[in-house]
Amino acid sequence: MDRVPKLTARQQAFLDKLLELYQEHKGPVHYSAVAERLGVNRFSAYDMLKVLEEKGFASSSYALATGHSGPGRSQVVFTPTSQAAAALTKSPDEMRLGEDWQHMRERVLTMLREARGANYRDALNDLLARLPETKAPLLFCTQMIGALLLNMRRVKARAEGLNPFRALGALRANGSQGLETLAGLSVGATLSDDDESDPSTTRRLLDHAQRYQANLSHMSEEARTALIHFLEEAIEALD
């Protein structure tokens, strides 16, 4: 069996972007689109896509430019091959959810990891301050999951004997239902702890929890699945 050629990190980035654009366009991709998405000049993109073609990850063809007809209007477009799927570093679902979600996911996970050796309250307030600026439902819910988990960790660290994290095993087992349960569990833990030292945090959590639940109720199955996986990653980041 022939081995799949190895790719450099730069070649992999171009291949990932070609696959992402192919999913979006549902067809062959002009090299200038890859260039624009990666922030490089179009000649560099063309050369790199030709390298991927030589390695068997892409194929090129000619197509008429959009909005034109007649001779002299064809342009070179690229299509990922079946071999490209084997080298994919993102799942098709992740690509469809977009780069903005990937960046948000990584940002929140980083905040959770850093909070383990710092002050949970400060990390929570920092995340809560960002929420009103976030309009996209998936991005908002991703941040909110981080905030709800940070709040639970804050309560656990402050109140001896109160450990809402014991219930997280049930969240993991309940899949999609666990997303809704998380909000009630986190806010309920705050209320039961009677956090009079910072009532504004509780009020903000309550306000954002309502928006979180509303967004979840209208979210696609694909987006909910992504959040279920993210919840698992977020819990591990705080453990």
Residue 83 C-beta-side C-alpha neighbours within 13 Å: 15
In this prediction, residue 146 carries a pLDDT of 93
DSSP count for the chain of H helices, then E strands: 12, 3
Out of 1.10.10.10, 3.30.420.280, 3.40.120.10, 3.40.50.1820, select the CATH number for domain 9-89.
1.10.10.10
- The span from the CA of 6 to the CA of 224, in Å, is 34
pLDDT tops 70 at residue 221: yes
Closest CA to 79 of 34, 38, 36, 44: 34
Q: Check if the beta carbon of residue 71 is closer than 8 Å to that of residue 23.
A: no
pTM here? 0.57
Taking the domains of the chain in order of start, what are their residue ranges?
A: 9-89, 94-238
Strand ranges (E), 1-92: 29-30, 58-64, 74-80
- The span from the CA of 38 to the CA of 61, in Å, is 22
Mean pLDDT, range 115-132, rounded to an integer: 86
> What's the pLDDT tens digit per position in 51-103?
999 999 999 998 876 544 445 567 899 999 988 876 665 555 455 566 778 88
- The span from the CA of 141 to the CA of 138, in Å, is 5
In this prediction, residue 143 carries a pLDDT of 94
pLDDT tops 60 at residue 227: yes
In degrees and rounded to multiples of 5, residue 184 shows phi and psi of -65, -40
Say which DSSP state 80 is in: E
> What's the pLDDT tens digit per position in 38-56?
888 999 999 999 999 999 9
